[in-house]
Amino acid sequence: MPRRPTVLASLTLAAVLGWPGLACGDEVAAEAKKQFADSLAPLFKAHCTACHTGEEPTGGMAFDALFKTLDVASDREQWDKIAQKLHSGEMPPEGEEPLVDGDRAKLTGWIDAELTKTGCGDGPRDPGRVTIRRLNRNEYNNTIRDLLGVDFRPADDFPSDDVGYGFDNIGDVLSMPPILLEKYLAAAENITSRVLGGQQVNLITNEVNGGELLNEGVRIITNESVEVRTQLRMHGKAQYLLRVRAWGDQVGADPVRMAVYLDKDLIREFEVKATSEKSETYEAWFDGKGGRRTVSIQFLNDFYDDEVDPPQDRNLYLRDLEVTGPYPDTVQRILAKVYTPDTRLAAAREILHDLMWRAYRRPVEDAELDRVMKLVELADRDGENFGSAVSLGLQAILCSPHFLFRVELDPRPGESEIRTLNDFEVATRLSYFLWSSMPDDELFELAKAGTLRTDGNLEKQVRRMLADEKADALVENFAGQWLQLRNLKVAAPDREKYPNFDEQLRRSMQRETELFFAEIMREDRSVLDFLKADYTFVDERLAVHYGMLDVKGKEFRKVSLDPAQRGGVLTQASVLTVTSNPTRTSPVKRGKWVLENLFGTPPPPPPPDVPELEEADAAVSGTLRERMEQHRVNPNCAVCHNRMDPLGFGLENFDGIGGWRHMDGPHEIDASGELPGGEKFDGPGELKQILLARQGDFVNCLAEKLLTYALGRGIEYSDRCTVDDIARAAKEQDYKFSSLVLAIVESDAFQKRRAIRGEP
Determine the pLDDT at residue 121: 61
Determine the pLDDT at residue 9: 30
Confidence at 78, pLDDT banded by 50, 70, 90:
confident
Higher pLDDT pick, 338 / 27: 338
For 695-704, how does the pLDDT look when each residue is reduced to its tens digit (9 = 90+)? 999 999 999 9
d(C-alpha 288, C-alpha 239), whole Å = 6
Contacts of residue 460, defined as CB under 8 A and 6 or more positions apart, other chains included, come to none
Confidence at 43, pLDDT banded by 50, 70, 90:
confident
Determine the pLDDT at residue 74: 58
Helix, strand, or coil (residue 218): strand
Side-chain half-sphere exposure of 420, counting CA atoms within 13 A: 7
Taking residues 577-595, what's their average pLDDT? 94
d(C-alpha 593, C-alpha 572), whole Å = 13
- Nearest alpha-carbon partner for 719 in 706, 735, 731, 730: 706
d(C-alpha 443, C-alpha 404), whole Å = 20
For 195-236, how does the pLDDT look when each residue is reduced to its tens digit (9 = 90+)? 775 445 555 655 678 888 787 778 898 888 888 887 776 544
Q: Is the pLDDT of residue 32 over 60?
A: no
Determine the pLDDT at residue 3: 42
Q: Are 373 and 396 in contact (CB under 8 A)?
A: no
Beta bridge partners of 632: none
Determine the pLDDT at residue 47: 76
Higher pLDDT pick, 17 / 272: 272
Neighbours of 354 (CB within 10 A): 13
Q: Are 725 and 755 in contact (CB under 8 A)?
A: no
Determine the pLDDT at residue 637: 67
Q: Are 279 and 245 in contact (CB under 8 A)?
A: yes
Determine the pLDDT at residue 516: 98
Report the b/e string of 193-203 with b at 16+ CB within 10 A: ebbbebbebeb
Beta bridge partners of 229: 294
- Three-state SS string over 624-689 comes to HHHHHHHHCCCHHHHHHHHHHHHHHHCCCCECCCCCECCEECCEECCCEEECCCCCEEECHHHHHH
- Which of 15-19, 152-156, 287-291, 300-304 shows the lowest per-residue confidence on average (mean pLDDT)? 15-19
Determine the pLDDT at residue 433: 98
Higher pLDDT pick, 607 / 303: 303
Q: How far apart are the first and last CA of the chain?
A: 41
Determine the pLDDT at residue 70: 40
Q: Is the pLDDT of residue 568 over 90?
A: yes
Determine the pLDDT at residue 639: 61
- Three-state SS string over 35-68 comes to HHHHHHHHHHHHHCCCCCCCCCCHHHCCHHHHHH
As to burial, measured by CB atoms within 10 angstroms (0-12 exposed, 13-18 middle, 19+ buried), residue 311 is exposed
Taking residues 620-637, what's their average pLDDT? 65
Taking residues 570-597, what's their average pLDDT? 95
- Tell me if the bond preceding 326 is cis, omega within 30° of 0: yes
- Nearest alpha-carbon partner for 225 in 322, 161, 288, 295: 295
- Which of 156-165, 178-187, 718-727 shows the lowest per-residue confidence on average (mean pLDDT)? 718-727
- Which of 10-14, 372-376, 551-555, 577-581 shows the lowest per-residue confidence on average (mean pLDDT)? 10-14
Confidence at 760, pLDDT banded by 50, 70, 90:
very low
- Tally the residues of the chain: 760
Model-level pTM?
A: 0.78
CA 290 vs CA 142, 236, 322: distances in Å: 22, 10, 16
- Tell me if the bond preceding 310 is cis, omega within 30° of 0: yes
Q: Is the pLDDT of residue 528 over 80?
A: yes
- Which of 253-257, 418-422, 425-429, 672-676 shows the lowest per-residue confidence on average (mean pLDDT)? 672-676
CA 754 vs CA 164, 420, 425, 429, 742: distances in Å: 21, 9, 14, 15, 21
- Which of 195-209, 566-580, 652-666, 738-752 shows the lowest per-residue confidence on average (mean pLDDT)? 195-209
Determine the pLDDT at residue 370: 97
Q: Are 564 and 685 in contact (CB under 8 A)?
A: yes
Confidence at 471, pLDDT banded by 50, 70, 90:
very high
Confidence at 26, pLDDT banded by 50, 70, 90:
very low
Taking residues 492-516, what's their average pLDDT? 97
For 287-339, how does the pLDDT look when each residue is reduced to its tens digit (9 = 90+)? 877 677 888 999 999 999 988 888 999 999 988 787 776 666 666 666 666 66
Q: Is the pLDDT of residue 418 over 90?
A: no
Q: Is the dihedral of CA 417, 419, 425, 426 positive or negative?
A: positive
Side-chain half-sphere exposure of 529, counting CA atoms within 13 A: 21
Q: Are 654 and 587 in contact (CB under 8 A)?
A: no
Side-chain half-sphere exposure of 579, counting CA atoms within 13 A: 31
For 106-123, how does the pLDDT look when each residue is reduced to its tens digit (9 = 90+)? 777 767 666 665 556 666
d(C-alpha 361, C-alpha 401), whole Å = 12
Greatest pairwise CA separation for the chain in angstroms: 130
Determine the pLDDT at residue 644: 82
d(C-alpha 485, C-alpha 476), whole Å = 9
Confidence at 14, pLDDT banded by 50, 70, 90:
very low
CA 593 vs CA 358, 492, 578, 661: distances in Å: 40, 18, 10, 21
CA 484 vs CA 407, 471, 702: distances in Å: 29, 19, 14
Report the b/e string of 462-481 with b at 16+ CB within 10 A: beebbeeebbebbbbbbbbb
Helix, strand, or coil (residue 94): coil
Higher pLDDT pick, 315 / 611: 315
CA 561 vs CA 508, 516, 519: distances in Å: 17, 13, 16
Confidence at 535, pLDDT banded by 50, 70, 90:
very high
In the chain, the percentage of residues whose pLDDT exceeds 90 is 53
For the chain, what is the mean pLDDT? 84
H or E element, residue 86: helix 76-88
